[in-house]
Amino acid sequence: GHVATSPTVEVTVENGIVRLDPQDTSLNIDANNYSSHATLWGYTWPDYQPANAILLKFDLPALPSGARVDEATLHLALVQSDTSADASYTMTAHKIVGKSPIISRATGYTADGQNARTPNGCCSNGVPLAQGDLSPAYDTRVVDKTVGVKTWTITAMVQDWLTDPSSNAGMVINPDVSAPRDRFRFFASVDHADVGLRPFLQIKYSIDNIPPTVAVSAPLTGTTVSGTVNVAAVAADNTGVA
């Protein structure tokens, strides 16, 4: 049970993979916090309305200078599904906007145990369930009933967070609001007994060390000019020019 921290080791990385564990909880249509539960819940109740949503928050590392995020993938391990004949269940990944949650205090009513979420008409008994504080979907996944890892591609979301760290308030995986009542998908949380099933975010990145080339193409060298002159240039780069 003792813990120690290794001294820092400095290396130069040209490309790499970062795997991040989240803070997580389920939001329910009540005032309770569920951050210590072993599962994360996506549940539809009543018909076509969310009764649960999955809330995750990641502390992003400082990537090396010049790093470009090429891919960011959220991994959740499905451990239980409803017993209906419906084989698929559509779940969407959203960025949280406007409210910064504290995972250990977040509920269906509040982001941090005190500050109310934006009111909206999403859910039973007027519980906001963070639905008024979400971006449009960054990715949509049709989740079948096969137990195992399901993934959402959230590359653009992570790129947003790295560009503006203040925008990293976490994310929500929403249940299927096109489904009838009592359809659900449950996933392992960071408190699940099986460590291999716990959720994580995998970020693949690369380093661009090649500078662009640029040259003025007009006027030509040695040209005598006067008055208003149009200046033109050409530029090229191995990944793109802005």
Give Cα separations from 228 to 25, 128, 192 (angstroms). 63, 60, 70
Q: How far apart are CA 33 and CA 113, in angstroms?
A: 9
The tens digit of pLDDT for each residue in 67-109 reads 889 999 999 999 999 999 999 999 999 999 988 999 999 999 9
Residue 181 pLDDT: 98
Q: How far apart are CA 241 and CA 228, in angstroms?
A: 27
Nearest alpha carbon to residue 159 among 209, 219, 201: 201
Residue 207 pLDDT: 84
Residue 52 pLDDT: 97
The tens digit of pLDDT for each residue in 229-242 reads 999 999 999 878 88
Written as one letter, the residue type at 36 is S
> Token pair of 77, please?
């391990």
Find tokens 């400082």 and name the residue: 62
- Adjacent-strand bridge partners of 57: 23
- Residues with pLDDT less than 70, the chain: 12-14
Q: How far apart are CA 94 and CA 53, in angstroms?
A: 11
Residue 195 pLDDT: 97
Contact between 83 and 186 under an 8 Å Cβ cutoff? The reply is no
